[in-house]
């Protein structure tokens, strides 16, 4: 039995959900989002509660049960609030700035890195060494943060690079004479 799948998703005030076939559409004050579940689960909406049930006892049905419930919960959270990822930049001369719909990164390359900000995502740089990514879709926010981090991952000797806020980088010991 899925512990996550057993919990129903409660809809807060101002958020509505509708099911047509295997597609769930959630509308709220910040917009609308949809999720299409697999045929292994059944999704129902009753009295401001969304329930996800497996169809059968197969391993795949049990896997999809918890995942589908989590996806619906993320939709509900996303149309009411925003998801947020924070990145830190460490290194001499490394910095970031937002200009219009482009994030400009100086990461020690011979050229500046221009990262186009996708639709539905807002990026703010309160400090030149701090990047805050916000959006309503958890998957897209995480993907954007990972793509920005891939430009200069933290290296294990000095710790220079782009890291998630609060991320611990294991420091290796350098060469000894």
pLDDT of 31: 85
SS3 of 104, please? Answer: strand
* Contact call for residues 115 and 146 (beta carbons, < 8 A): no
DSSP H or E stretch at residue 41: strand 41-46
What is the helix, strand, coil percentage profile of the chain, to 5?
20, 40, 40
- Residues of the chain under the 50 pLDDT cut: none
**How far is C-alpha 19 from the chain's CA centre?**
24
Report the distance separating Cα 115 and Cα 103, nearest Å.
5
Query: Can you tell me which residue has the tokens 């101002």?
Result: 14
- CATH homologous superfamily of 83-164 equals Ribosomal protein L6 (3.90.930.12)
Long-range contacts: 56-59, Cβ < 8 Å, 24+?
none
* Contact call for residues 99 and 117 (beta carbons, < 8 A): no
- CATH homologous superfamily of 3-80 equals Ribosomal protein L6 (3.90.930.12)
* Contact call for residues 23 and 34 (beta carbons, < 8 A): yes
pLDDT of 50: 93
Say if 3-80 and 83-164 have the same CATH topology: yes
In angstroms, the Cα distances linking 91 to 82, 124, 162, 164 are 29, 20, 9, 14
Q: What's phi and psi for 3, nearest 5 deg?
A: -70, -40
Report the distance separating Cα 144 and Cα 14, nearest Å.
28
Give residue limits of the domains in the chain. 3-80, 83-164
Report the distance separating Cα 131 and Cα 148, nearest Å.
10
pLDDT tens for residues 75-99?
999 999 999 999 999 999 999 999 9
> H-type helices in the chain, by residue range?
3-6, 59-80, 138-149
pLDDT of 1: 62
């Amino acid at each position: 039995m899925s512990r996550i799948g057993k919990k129903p998703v409660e809809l807060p005030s101002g958020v509505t959900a509708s099911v047509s076939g295997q597609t769930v559409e959630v509308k709220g004050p910040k917009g609308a989002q949809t999720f299409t579940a697999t045929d292994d689960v059944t999704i129902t909406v009753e009295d401001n509660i969304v329930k996800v049930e497996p169809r059968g006892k197969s391993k795949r049905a049990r896997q999809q049960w918890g995942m589908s419930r989590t996806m619906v919960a993320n939709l509900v959270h996303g149309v009411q609030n925003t998801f947020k990822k924070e990145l830190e930049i460490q290194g001499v001369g490394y910095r970031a700035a937002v200009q219009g719909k482009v994030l400009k990164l100086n990461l020690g390359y011979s050229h500046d890195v221009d990262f186009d900000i996708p639709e539905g995502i807002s990026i703010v740089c309160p400090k030149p060494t701090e990047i805050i990514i916000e959006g309503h879709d958890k998957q897209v926010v995480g993907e954007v943060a990972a793509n920005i981090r891939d430009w200069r991952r933290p290296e294990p000797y000095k710790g220079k690079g782009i890291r998630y806020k609060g991320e611990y980088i294991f420091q290796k010991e350098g060469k000894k004479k």
